[in-house]
Amino acid sequence: MISTPPDLKSYKTQLRRALQNEFLATTLRTFASAYRLSRANAFEGLDATHLVEEIARGKDAAIPYLQELFEQFRSRAEAAGVKVHVARTPREANEIIASIARSNDVRKIVKSKSMTAEETFLNDHLEKEGFQVTETDLGEWIIQLRGEGPSHMVMPAIHLSRKEVAELFTGVTGEVQDPDDIAGMVQVARKELRQAYVEAHMGISGANFAVAETGTLGLITNEGNARLVTTLPPVHVAMLGFEKLVPDLRSALRILQMLPRNATGQAISTYVTWITGANQCATGPDGRKAMHVVFLDNGRLTLARDPVFAEALRCIRCGACANVCPIYKLVGGHNYGHVYMGAIGLILTYFYHGRENARAMVKNCLNCQACKSVCASGIDLPRLIREVHRKILKEEGTKPVKNVILNLVLRNRRLFHFLLRRASLAQSPVASGERVMRHLPFFFDREHEFRSLPLLAGTPLRDRWNQVNPSLENPRLRVALFGGCLVDFVYPEQALALVKLFAAHDVQLEYPMEQTCCGLPAEMMGEKETARQVALQNLHSLDMSRFDHILTLCASCGSHLKESYPRLLEGEGDAEPMVRGMVEKVTDFSSFMINVLQVSPRQFQEGGAKTAYHSPCHLCRGLNVTGEPRELLTLAGLEYTPSRDEDVCCGFGGSFSVDFPMLSAEILREKLDHTEDTGADVLVTDCPGCVLQLRGGLDKRNSSIRVKHMVEIIAEQKKW
Amino acid sequence: MGQATLVQKMKEKAEAVQTRVALVRSMEEALTAAVEITLKGGGHVLAAPGLGERHEEAVPFLNELCRSRGVDLLMENLRGHMGRIHTAFTVGDYAIAETGTLVQISHDEDLRMATMLSETHVAVIPVSRIRPHALAFEPEMLRILQRPPSYLAFISGASRTADIERVLTIGVHGPSELHMLILEEEPHEEAPS
Ligand code: SF4
Ligand code: SF4
């Protein structure tokens, strides 16, 4: 049985331990890079976005009718000689399968990989009942021999080294195995498992689809073990979740087009097997297979009716959301999930394995959106993770102190801004006039020392606005600046650069004073009501009729305004049309410069510094802006030098870096290594949060690389 | 897509998943190739389940060929020969060019035994059976699924795993070689069941 820490403290201890595992780190890092490449190759010539949309649409249309699809599947399958069962709980599923085994006088069982069987801990149950179960997928067999659960949905043993496998196989065969002879070890498995197939009386498989219109099961494998499991023994039991039902063959083929490409970067897996009815089997009753299909509910049918979470049932278990997750990459599936891992694991654990197992790890998300951007079925994973977090807070009733304070403060703009001003005054005066805290206050422990933190600005932006912002005679455009807390209270200089630049372009900038925090931190901490209240306040502060655009220098604010406000304010009456109007007007700095002002190289100096770029998560994935910033850098005369994994998160993630400093530090370390590899003098990004993280990290390294917000470097490059 | 392009694409995509592709002009040529592949691989047993039903006329030729080349020929009851079969010779039902996939109607248990338990799988696929992509094959496939029981196999390359340190290794459970012989002339154009 696997165990998952129920509280944050023991979870963090586990994470620290995982970070010590060098093999894991190297393996997962190499895998993450290789995956990105092979995925891109696999989708060449295909419209991946369109395919994702089609799959999402197909799934959404089917999810409300799972019961009907099930009935259709059952009648087709039963007409073809299959017995179809329904299990409401994992225990029921395990018992059904054990009783099928008993009534067929089975002792030995072979099994091909099934996440659903992992979900119910089927092997444990069957073994307790006295059956001998052998996993036949190589990776599953390895972890079964080690008594572990999978650490990845598609590559269950990815956390193990060849050395560990060699030691294991030496024990199994009694002969010393050479860790460098992987082909030899694979042959060991072939030999041992062949014997298991021949001796087994029952085969258990999962299924990737259940096609309702024909009563067909579809199974996808590379090894071919599912073929043997479903062919050699006289009894076949397939176990699958209700969400595997698809209405027709066409839907299944569409998923097939996606699944191997998204999972492993293959155009297709080696074997795709479509089984309809009880097939010929010489050793079966009447020369046919005794075939059973067990559908597992375990909350799925309730989930299917949930307005928020039904989306999670779209998952086709491709594993991609783990492959691209910066946290998964550091700690692996055993530390980032329970049975299911990665982004979807954080969500499903709550529903399938309970709050206890989800409580701590659901906080462990950067909201970097990497998972969402590759999800085969377009699930908004980061949002559902936050929703699960919220649900748990609500159920548990007792809120962490910081949530209580956050709610209190954030809902009252005056109080919030008053406190920020006070905090600025309370900062100890820094001798050298530096703007960073080298040594953190006592309430941060040493783990936070990986970056220095900026001091709050002496005077926030809002308090100087009227003096610094010129009023233009006949401006060509009116733009509202949505500052966000970091620009307002930490980096007002970024806004000042913008003021200067816009004046030169004859754009009138305004700073609506009633605006407050965008509310993303509240949403991240599971405080949706607070998030809604501040959203309303901001919406009312931005009088849309007066502005042509709403510009924000913070990608996180921008993507939150654009993406989350419509959802947060759904059904708010007057607010709804206002939100729609606002969403259209929200823009980031680079897009505004390129698409609206259409700046040209003439306006900038030549021969600028060698410049690396960090693409903020909420800009490249949240707002889908990827071309403009790079174009702007080049156009403004800078020597833009691409770096590795430019669009991978910097590890900031707002309060994430406070909760999980050890992970934040590691993610940042890699980011800065890649930046230093480019030999750049300047690192540019377009989000003050990233500036904070990157600058703080480089400062600790005593690096000479300067970190600039895009607006600052563009203002520097401008010919005045 | 013209036939030549289709065959070209089929070949290219199948080779991309390590399938060995050759063009043949007759069933005899295909059978000869299968026997040679067997001998070259150090094998002495060839199974050709279902050949009698699909290409009865080819059976005497194969019998004679195997006898003369010292290869044992098995046609049925393959459960009794598990572990002995070196080569499985099959006639594929369809192929999908886009993914280099062989489609084999495998309700017949002997056919499954042979293609799963052999070391090498040699499949002949008539050009007229190649479809450009899976969706183009969907109507035909649906008809097959609508007549159960059925066990339909998509096979794209040899059995593989990457479960130990992500090193791609061939031949973990099933055949370690897949040969696809594209038959350019088709003596019997017959729809499969
Ligand atoms: S949002 Fe980022 S950190 Fe969170 S689960 Fe997705 S990929 Fe991982
Ligand atoms: S949530 Fe999406 S990316 Fe993750 S396994 Fe499911 S389908 Fe794949």
Q: Chain B contact for A58, CB < 8 A?
A: no
Mean pLDDT of chain A: 93
Residue A109 is assigned to a structural domain of this protein: yes
Q: Do A607 and A708 lie in a common domain?
A: yes
pLDDT tens, A271-285?
Answer: 999 999 999 999 998
Residue A414 is assigned to a structural domain of this protein: no
Q: What is the DSSP letter of A307?
A: T
Using the Cα atoms of residue A636, residue A642, residue A643 and residue A647 in order, give the sign of their dihedral.
positive
Mean pLDDT of B125-152: 97
The answer to whether the Cβ–Cβ distance between B148 and A80 falls below 8 Å is: yes
Residue A467 is assigned to a structural domain of this protein: no
Predicted confidence at residue A505, as pLDDT, reads 95
Q: Report the CATH number that the domain containing residue A177 is assigned in CATH.
A: 3.40.50.10420
The answer to whether the Cβ–Cβ distance between A224 and B172 falls below 8 Å is: yes
Going by pLDDT thresholds of 50, 70 and 90, the confidence category of residue A439 is low
pLDDT tens, A112-127?
Answer: 999 999 999 999 999 9
Range B3-183 has CATH code 3.40.50.10420: yes
The answer to whether the Cβ–Cβ distance between B160 and A223 falls below 8 Å is: yes
Asked whether the predicted pLDDT for residue B193 surpasses 50, the reply is: no
Report yes or no: A277 and A234 within 8 Å, Cβ to Cβ. Answer: no
Predicted confidence at residue A681, as pLDDT, reads 97
Residue from A28, A195, A222 to probe the interface with B (highest B Cβ count within 10 Å): A222
CA distance to partner chain A, nearest, from residue B90 (Å): 16
Q: Chain B contact for A31, CB < 8 A?
A: yes
pLDDT tens, A479-506?
Answer: 999 999 999 999 999 999 999 999 999 9
Residue A197 has phi, psi (to 5 degrees) of -60, -45
Residue A285 is assigned to a structural domain of this protein: yes
Predicted confidence at residue A330, as pLDDT, reads 95
- Which residues have CB under 8 Å from B79's CB, separation 6+? A282, A283, B109, B113
Q: Do A222 and A371 lie in a common domain?
A: no
B183 alpha carbon to ligand 2 midpoint, in Å?
Answer: 40
Mean pLDDT of A672-690: 97
> What does the alpha-carbon distance between residue A487 and residue A686 come to, in Å, rounded to a whole number?
12
Predicted confidence at residue B54, as pLDDT, reads 87
Q: Do A320 and A373 lie in a common domain?
A: yes
Q: Do A612 and A692 lie in a common domain?
A: yes
- Who lines ligand 2 at CB under 6 A? A 315-321, 343-344, 374-377, 379, 381
- Which residues have CB under 8 Å from A202's CB, separation 6+? A100, A101, A104, A106, A108, A109, A110, A233, A234, A235, A236, A237
Predicted confidence at residue A433, as pLDDT, reads 56
Tokens of A696: 């703080």
Q: Do A285 and A338 lie in a common domain?
A: no
- Return the half-sphere exposure (C-beta side, CA atoms, 13 A cut-off) of residue A462: 19
Residue A229 is assigned to a structural domain of this protein: yes
Least confident of A85-89, A456-460, B35-39, B137-141: A456-460
Q: Do A111 and A188 lie in a common domain?
A: yes
Under DSSP, is residue A588 helix (H, G, I), strand (E, B) or coil? Answer: strand
Structural domain boundaries, residue A652: 601-717
Q: Chain B contact for A212, CB < 8 A?
A: no
Q: How many CB pairs under 8 A join A and B?
A: 180
Residue A2 is assigned to a structural domain of this protein: no
Report yes or no: A461 and A492 within 8 Å, Cβ to Cβ. Answer: yes
Q: Where are the domains of chain B?
A: 3-183
- Which residues have CB under 8 Å from A50's CB, separation 6+? none
A35 alpha carbon to ligand 2 midpoint, in Å?
Answer: 15
Number of domains in chain A: 3
The answer to whether the Cβ–Cβ distance between A253 and B158 falls below 8 Å is: no
Residue of A nearest to B142 (CA): A249
Q: Do A122 and A247 lie in a common domain?
A: yes
Query: 3-state SS string over A252-305?
Result: HHHHHHHHHHHHHCCCCCCEEEEEECCCECCCCHHHECEEEEEEECCCHHHHCC
Under DSSP, is residue A155 helix (H, G, I), strand (E, B) or coil? Answer: coil
The answer to whether the Cβ–Cβ distance between A249 and B161 falls below 8 Å is: no
Distance from chain centroid for Cα A615:
17
> What does the alpha-carbon distance between residue B190 and residue B176 come to, in Å, rounded to a whole number?
30
Residue A204 is assigned to a structural domain of this protein: yes
Q: Do A296 and A315 lie in a common domain?
A: no
Q: Chain B contact for A247, CB < 8 A?
A: no
Q: Do A244 and A382 lie in a common domain?
A: no
The answer to whether the Cβ–Cβ distance between B17 and A270 falls below 8 Å is: yes
**How many H helices and E strands in chain A?**
36, 20
Residue A372 is assigned to a structural domain of this protein: yes
Helix ranges, A548-613 (H)? 555-559, 565-568, 575-585, 589-591
Q: Are strands B150-155 and A271-276 parallel, antiparallel or unpaired?
A: antiparallel
Residue from B164, B166, B167, B193 to probe the interface with A (highest A Cβ count within 10 Å): B164
Ligand 1 within 6 A of CB of A327: yes
Q: Do A222 and A356 lie in a common domain?
A: no
A224: nearest CB among B17, B108, B159: B159
Tokens of A530: 């607070």
Asked whether the predicted pLDDT for residue A429 surpasses 80, the reply is: no
pLDDT tens, B88-128?
Answer: 999 999 999 999 999 999 999 999 999 999 999 999 999 99
Predicted confidence at residue B190, as pLDDT, reads 52
Share of chain A above pLDDT 90, in %: 86
The answer to whether the Cβ–Cβ distance between A186 and B159 falls below 8 Å is: no
Q: Report the CATH number that the domain containing residue A359 is assigned in CATH.
A: 1.10.1060
pLDDT tens, A547-590?
Answer: 999 999 999 999 999 999 999 999 888 888 899 999 999 999 99
Predicted confidence at residue A431, as pLDDT, reads 41
Residue A460 has phi, psi (to 5 degrees) of -65, 160
Considering only CA atoms, give the Rg of chain A.
28
* Predicted TM-score (pTM) of this structure: 0.93
pLDDT tens, A124-161?
Answer: 999 999 999 999 999 999 999 999 999 999 999 999 99
Q: Do A102 and A144 lie in a common domain?
A: yes
- Which residues have CB under 8 Å from A149's CB, separation 6+? A2, A118, A143, A334, A339
Going by pLDDT thresholds of 50, 70 and 90, the confidence category of residue A440 is low
ipTM computed for the complex: 0.95
> What does the alpha-carbon distance between residue A143 and residue B163 come to, in Å, rounded to a whole number?
11
pLDDT tens, A3-32?
Answer: 899 999 999 999 999 999 999 999 999 999
Last residue of a domain, one of A363, A395, A427: A395
Residue of B nearest to A136 (CA): B173
Last residue of a domain, one of A286, A301, A316: A301
Q: Report the CATH number that the domain containing residue A626 is assigned in CATH.
A: 3.40.50.1860
Q: Do A265 and A321 lie in a common domain?
A: no
Mean pLDDT of A288-307: 97
Predicted confidence at residue B1, as pLDDT, reads 72
> What does the alpha-carbon distance between residue A589 and residue A687 come to, in Å, rounded to a whole number?
10
